[in-house]
């Protein structure tokens, strides 16, 4: 089962993704983590992504999709993927559908962690990551609104979208997510 975890920056996606992969034996694929890894290794891809990440803008689709293609080629025979931070544009969603179709697979569910924007800002400002300064945060939230909200609409139209309230303790939110995934497994 392949699951896309959607949510704005600061929605708690990364934390919840870790809990989901541990619980369901999924392979965690996070484009943010992949970019940060490339950056720390000083690869050409990392160097090109650097400026975008520092400014809070999305790395161009061709670059991101090529990186994902490479990652998925190394993740065959899995019990399923948990995609975290990808897709963030409708072009990326189209590319993902194609990559999965090549394996005879699809996005089985897209789960949106719903958190309102005032709370997102508060969380992001408190997190202290290097791209968590106010100006960058605003850019990232704008990118989310303009480029990623259409991805949510896309999965909604496909009938695979599940919304989960992303406000509460980490454990409470993890339990809500687990209910959704257990429901998917029961219907599979």
Cβ closest to ligand AMP, residue 35 vs residue 155: 35
Cβ closest to ligand AMP, residue 75 vs residue 175: 75
How far is residue 7's CA from residue 90's CA, in Å, rounded to a whole number?
A: 15
Question: To the nearest whole angstrom, how small is the minimum distance from the Cβ of residue 188 to ligand AMP?
Answer: 26
Residue nearest to ligand AMP (CB): 32
Phi, psi (degrees; rounded to nearest 5) at 159: 80, 20
Question: To the nearest whole angstrom, how small is the minimum distance from the Cβ of residue 183 to ligand AMP?
Answer: 26
Question: To the nearest whole angstrom, how small is the minimum distance from the Cβ of residue 139 to ligand AMP?
Answer: 8
Residues of this chain that bind ligand AMP (CB under 6 A): 9, 31-32, 35, 52-53, 56-59, 64, 85-86, 88, 92, 140
- Number of neighbours of residue 69 by Cβ within 10 angstroms: 14
How far is residue 51's CA from residue 49's CA, in Å, rounded to a whole number?
A: 6
Question: To the nearest whole angstrom, how small is the minimum distance from the Cβ of residue 185 to ligand AMP?
Answer: 26
Question: To the nearest whole angstrom, how small is the minimum distance from the Cβ of residue 86 to ligand AMP?
Answer: 4
Cβ closest to ligand AMP, residue 170 vs residue 175: 170
Cβ closest to ligand AMP, residue 127 vs residue 179: 127
The DSSP symbol for 57 reads P
Cβ closest to ligand AMP, residue 104 vs residue 126: 126
Rounded to the nearest 10°, the torsion over CA 17, 19, 22, 24 is -80
How far is residue 25's CA from residue 80's CA, in Å, rounded to a whole number?
A: 8
Name the percent of the chain in helix, strand, coil, to the closest 5.
60, 10, 25
């Amino acid at each position: 089962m392949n699951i896309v975890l959607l949510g704005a920056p600061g929605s708690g996606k990364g934390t919840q993704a870790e809990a989901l992969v541990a619980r369901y034996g999924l392979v965690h694929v996070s484009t943010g983590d992949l970019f940060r890894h490339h950056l720390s290794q000083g690869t050409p891809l990392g160097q090109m992504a650097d400026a975008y990440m520092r400014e809070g803008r999305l790395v161009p689709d061709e670059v991101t999709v090529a990186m994902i293609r490479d990652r998925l080629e190394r993740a065959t025979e899995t019990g399923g993927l948990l995609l975290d931070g990808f897709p963030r544009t409708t072009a990326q969603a189209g590319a993902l559908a194609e990559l999965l179709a090549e394996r005879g697979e699809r996005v089985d569910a897209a789960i949106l962690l719903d958190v309102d924007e005032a709370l997102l800002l508060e969380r992001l400002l408190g997190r202290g990551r290097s791209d968590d300064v106010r100006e960058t945060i605003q850019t990232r939230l704008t990118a989310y609104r303009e480029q990623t909200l259409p991805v949510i609409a896309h999965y909604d139209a496909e009938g695979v979208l599940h919304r989960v309230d992303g406000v509460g303790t980490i454990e409470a939110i993890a339990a809500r997510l687990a209910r959704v995934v257990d429901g998917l497994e029961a219907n599979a």
